[in-house]
Structure 1
Amino acid sequence: MRTVNLNLPENLDLNESELKVILAGELYEREKLSLGQAADLAGLSKRAFIEIMGVYGFSVFSKSEADLLSDIANA
């Protein structure tokens, strides 16, 4: 993995774990990372990542109609 350093405002009340979940959730929703990759980035198991996504306002479901139809067919 690549390392990135960020300068954040002092008043930003988020710890490193929260920032990882937010970044991972956003990249997952933008389809830049798979669910497994996003969970790894957040430092969580897939199950834990799925469970916490809703807390941060992210959806585990794809916005793509083709993906939804594929998921239904595979269910």
Structure 2
Amino acid sequence: MKNKAQEMKLIPAIKLYKLGRLSSGAAANLAGIPKVLFLTKLADYGVDTFQLTEAELAEELKRA
């Protein structure tokens, strides 16, 4: 992020994404940055890019 104003939009977007209230695309839109950049910024704040529950992961593994 280039400045504090941009970071002030990014932090709430990351929090809402982490809480499952926004998709990555919606959170990126809220932050005013491209989705790909948003996804890369998640690691800077210690947030997993993919958030699956144990049940969702088990279901995905069954489909594989």
Same fold, judged at TM 0.5 (above): yes
- Relative to its length, the structure with more helix (as a share) is 2
Structure 2 portions without partners, runs of 5+: none
Gap runs ≥5 in structure 1:
1-13
Number of positions where the alignment pairs a residue of Structure 1 with one of Structure 2: 62
Instruction: Give the structure with higher Rg (CA).
Output: 1
1:32-71 correspondence runs (5 A) = 32-69=21-58
CA contact (8 A) 1:62 1:68 kept: no
TM-score by length of 1: 0.65
Determine the C-alpha separation between the residues in 1 that align with 2:51 and 2:40: 16
* Structure-2-length-normalised TM-score: 0.74
Distance 2:21 2:34 in 1: 18
- Structure 1 vs Structure 2 CA RMSD: 2.3
Q: In percent, how many aligned pairs have the same letter?
A: 37
In structure 1, C-alpha distance between the alignment counterparts of 2:63 and 2:39, rounded to whole Å: 19
